[in-house]
Amino acid sequence: MPSTTTELPLLTRHGEPAPPVRIVHLGLGAFHRSHQAWFTARARDAAEWGIASFTGRRPDAALALAPQEGLFTLIERSADGDRFEVVGSIAEAVDGADVGRLEELLAAPETAVVTLTVTEKVYDDDGPDAPLGRLVRGLAARRAAGAGPIAVVSCDNLAGNGEVARAAVVRIAEDLDAESEEGGLAAWVRENVSFVGTSVDRITPRTTPDDVAEVAERCGYRDASPVVAEPFASWILSGEFPAGRPAWEDAGAQFVADIEPFENRKLWLLNGAHTMLAYSGQLRGHETVADALGDPVCRRAMAEFWDEAARHLTLPELDVPAYRAALLERFANPRIAHYLAQIAQDGSLKLRLRAVPVLQAERAEGRGGLGAARMIAAWIDWVGSGADISDPLVGAIREALGGEGRERTEALIRLVDADLAADAAVVDLIHGLLGFAAH
Ligand code: CS2
């Protein structure tokens, strides 16, 4: 065994060609690689479906993958050990600022699918240099080239992500139409772009230097950018692919007519529990999901929220008891260090998707919504605890934190949802729950 990893060969394709690009992805990050890239690599027709994956704000991920020809190692981490798999579906890793390349690829008739992992907050960002602004410029190039219809597949943790993506893209296209002489782009998008809704799931903690060293030692090559993920992976999709798609079902993807119940199950039970554990857990001195799960206070809060959410997940095929049991096992994976601080980011937005719908559904049926209210209380306590807040509303959160008593609580709730803040009973309920994690 060589004494230093620099003596090891770099992971490369050894002269084998990469699959031809037929998918464009925006948001090259760890989750894209453990999920969509992995599903694509596992399809029987993987040799025909390469991905050109563009980074978001920074080029780093593309710079790391380019020398290894898009290849990376997926470390599948279970309670028993690690498995290593080289994923070859990323044919090109591109700096997101390279809009010329994006336009060129979208103008090619071979390009059939655009997938997105741009994070929840980006769907509100209409800037021309924001990822969706770039996508719309690419779609304009496709229209100009007469390259035909295409599918856009949102893989972000948003309810109705397909529809949210459609609304954002059409809005940006309308703005462009208003500025141009020709117009007609928004109408072209409506007729030619199929927006596919999906529910995506695979826990993907951040890669650490130890993971990089482990790959070198166990695989015998250098990979500057491996990805760690749990063995579980799920992708549920609903919508049309007018120009074709890989056989993702080979890797377990499910195609359904109505995505909403599946989205809700995942957003509320998995992501909702994560958010609850992230705030209550950090307030109680824990660092990871598995640590927080071992604390009865956090675990009780999570179970209370699950019971509440489950009342609104009634379709038999959702099999909520089995889903909950599987989640407990996934969260407890002792070898995955999934940091609560990572999940705690962008809380104002995540609560809107994870706590608010359950709270509203409970109140609509005449119940209090205690579990969902407790999640919001945990967030308020956490932002007020001197924590390092990373959130698009950080300025407004800091301002609201300057207030006092019930008014301060109300101001913070307003940042999550104005209707809830206007409901005195909800504000009282949440205000009364503050500090629960301290006991
Ligand atoms: C997490 C998700 O960071 C978060 O908000 O809840 O990233 C979660 O790990 C994934 O959705 C799992 O599929």
- Tell me 7's DSSP state: G
- Tell me 10's DSSP state: B
Separation of CA 31 and ligand 1 centre (Å): 9
Q: Work out the pLDDT band at 6, boundaries 50, 70, 90.
A: low
Q: Please tell me if the CB atom of residue 202 comes closer than 6 angstroms to any atom of ligand 1.
A: yes
CA atoms in the 13 A half-sphere facing the CB of 44: 3
Q: What is the DSSP string of 78-135?
A: -SS-EEEEEE--EEEEE-TT-HHHHHHHHTSTT--EEEE---GGGGG---TTSHHHHH
For the segment 311-336, the average pLDDT, to the nearest whole number, is 96
pLDDT of residue 349: 96
Query: b/e for 23-62, b at 16 or more Cβ within 10 A?
Result: bbbbbbbbbbbbbbbbbbbbbeebeebbbbbbbbeebebb
For the segment 10-31, the average pLDDT, to the nearest whole number, is 97
Q: What is the pLDDT of residues 56-81, one digit of tens each?
A: 989 999 999 999 999 999 999 999 99
Query: b/e for 350-360, b at 16 or more Cβ within 10 A?
Result: bbbbbbbbbbb
pLDDT of residue 12: 96
pLDDT of residue 5: 57
For the segment 290-319, the average pLDDT, to the nearest whole number, is 97
Sheet-wide strand order for 72-77: 82-87, 72-77, 227-229
Nearest CA to ligand 1 atom 2: 271
pLDDT over threshold 50, residue 1: no
* Contact between 229 and 17 (Cβ < 8 Å): no
Q: What is the CATH number of domain 260-438?
A: 1.10.1040.10
Q: Strand, helix or coil at 201?
A: strand
Two structure tokens written together for 102: 């994006």
**Ligand 1, from 121, 271, 276: best to mutate by most atoms within 8 Å of Cβ?**
271
**Ligand 1, from 117, 274, 349, 350: best to mutate by most atoms within 8 Å of Cβ?**
274
Two structure tokens written together for 243: 């120009």
pLDDT of residue 420: 98
Beta bridge partners of 288: 339
Q: Strand, helix or coil at 72?
A: strand
Q: Strand, helix or coil at 74?
A: strand
Give residues with Cβ within 8 angstroms of 128, minimum separation 6.
Answer: 134, 137
Nearest CA to ligand 1 atom 1: 343
Separation of CA 311 and ligand 1 centre (Å): 22
pLDDT of residue 218: 98
pLDDT over threshold 60, residue 257: yes
Q: Domain ranges in the chain?
A: 21-255, 260-438
Q: What is the pLDDT of residues 176-222, one digit of tens each?
A: 999 999 899 999 999 999 999 999 999 999 999 999 999 999 999 99
For the segment 349-361, the average pLDDT, to the nearest whole number, is 98
Q: Please tell me if the CB atom of residue 94 comes closer than 6 angstroms to any atom of ligand 1.
A: no
Nearest atom within ligand 1 for CA of residue 201: 13
pLDDT of residue 57: 86
Q: Please tell me if the CB atom of residue 201 comes closer than 6 angstroms to any atom of ligand 1.
A: yes
What span, in angstroms and rounded, lies between the C-alpha atoms of 192 and 188? 6
* Average confidence score pLDDT of the chain: 96
3-state helix, strand, coil in the chain (%, to 5): 50, 15, 35
**Ligand 1, from 34, 343, 349: best to mutate by most atoms within 8 Å of Cβ?**
343
Nearest atom within ligand 1 for CA of residue 343: 3
Sheet-wide strand order for 21-26: 90-94, 50-54, 21-26, 113-116, 150-154, 193-201, 234-238, 254-255
pLDDT over threshold 80, residue 226: yes
Q: What is the CATH number of domain 21-255?
A: 3.40.50.720
**Ligand 1, from 34, 157, 268, 390: best to mutate by most atoms within 8 Å of Cβ?**
157
Q: What is the pLDDT of residues 332-342, one digit of tens each?
A: 998 999 999 99
pTM of full prediction above 0.75: yes
pLDDT of residue 231: 97
Separation of CA 248 and ligand 1 centre (Å): 21
